[in-house]
Amino acid sequence: MEQRKERRIQLEEACENLKFARTVLTSLLDYPKSVSVVLFTVGCNFCCPYCHNPELVLAKVSIAEEEEIFEEIRRRKITNRVVITGGEPTVHEDLPAFIRKLKKSDHLVKLDTNGSNPRMVEDLLSDGLLDYVALDIKSGIEKFHTVTGLSEESAKEMFKNVLETLRLLKQYSVPHEVRTTYVPGLLDERDIAEIKELVGDSTWYLQRFRPQKTLSLYTNVTSSSYEDLFKLASKFGAKAR
């Protein structure tokens, strides 16, 4: 209990003001069919035990000022695509203002989100600030508290938010995808079937779990093979990666 409380304090501190990690990547994978600049926000309101970016969740990274970030973007003249990921970008109230600056510079913006803040997502969508969204649906309702590290009560509310975010993405017809990280021993075929019912006709990816570094004790969990993941994804109408 004390450990969870301490971690929650760390998470709250990490979410104060919009912060970016100093690491900025150029990627061929993160924006569909395009080269992109990838920005990492610091802080998250989930505490997923298998998270492969624990240093971002707990703000144990070198922080860059906003002007430094824009300078890094300007240097990468080969693309006007920007991906904002995390951490969880929507925990920061000043995220929309940052995205507006990007759009004024004629950038296309992709947002990666856990879906916990549908109000902000709707504001961004209604203002035409998002060109692509990747939404994580981590599990069905039954396991959501385990998968996210939240209390059962908080998990129920957050799960509703995730479903509302998905509804908004469909309502606004913004290009989007749904992602689920398949962690052996944490999720099984019944969970994948449940998520399939939630996803509906949205593009859906099952992602391979990477055990190299995690927020909690999941480094000893063996990843599924690409072959097994592909078979599972095909069975439920998803794509594997």
Nearest to 158 by CA among 88, 93, 206, 110: 88
Q: Between 189-199 and 226-235, two packed helices, what is the crossing angle to 10 degrees?
A: 50
Specify the 3-state DSSP secondary structure of 184.
Answer: strand
DSSP 82: E
Specify the 3-state DSSP secondary structure of 66.
Answer: helix
Provide the β-strand partners of residue 112.
134
> With contact defined as beta carbons under 8 Å apart, do 236 and 178 qualify?
no
Please enumerate in sequence order all residues whose Cβ is within 8 A of that of 183, keeping only pairs 6 or more positions apart, or say none: 50, 209, 218, 221
Say whether pLDDT at 3 is over 50. Answer: no
What percent of the chain is modeled with pLDDT above 70? 88
How many other C-beta atoms can be found within 10 angstroms of the C-beta atom of residue 131? 16
The pair of structure tokens assigned to 210 is 């990477």
Instruction: Give the pLDDT confidence score for residue 60 in this predicted structure.
Output: 75
Express each pLDDT in 138-148 by its tens digit: 999 999 999 99
Q: Which has more pLDDT, 132 or 48?
A: 132
- If one counts the domains in the chain, the total is 1
Nearest to 163 by CA among 112, 111, 113, 118: 118
Stated pTM of the model: 0.90
Instruction: Give the pLDDT confidence score for residue 70 in this predicted structure.
Output: 92
Provide the β-strand partners of residue 85.
40
Instruction: Give the pLDDT confidence score for residue 185 in this predicted structure.
Output: 87
> Given 3-state DSSP classes, what are the helix, strand and coil percentages for the chain, each rounded to the nearest 5?
40, 25, 40
Express each pLDDT in 15-33 by its tens digit: 557 889 888 889 999 999 9
Instruction: Give the pLDDT confidence score for residue 18 in this predicted structure.
Output: 85
Domain hosting 23: range is 2-240
DSSP 223: P
Express each pLDDT in 181-236 by its tens digit: 999 889 999 999 999 999 999 999 999 887 765 555 555 555 678 899 999 999 99
pLDDT band at 89 (very low <50, low <70, confident <90, very high): very high
Say whether pLDDT at 10 is over 90. Answer: no
Instruction: Give the pLDDT confidence score for residue 22 in this predicted structure.
Output: 80
Q: Which CATH number fits the domain that encloses residue 218?
A: 3.20.20.70
Express each pLDDT in 90-139 by its tens digit: 999 999 999 999 999 999 999 999 999 999 999 999 999 999 999 999 99
Cα–Cα distances in Å, from 3 out to 11, 35, 205, 216? 12, 40, 33, 12
Nearest to 27 by CA among 17, 40, 45: 40
The pair of structure tokens assigned to 52 is 């492969």
Instruction: Give the pLDDT confidence score for residue 19 in this predicted structure.
Output: 85
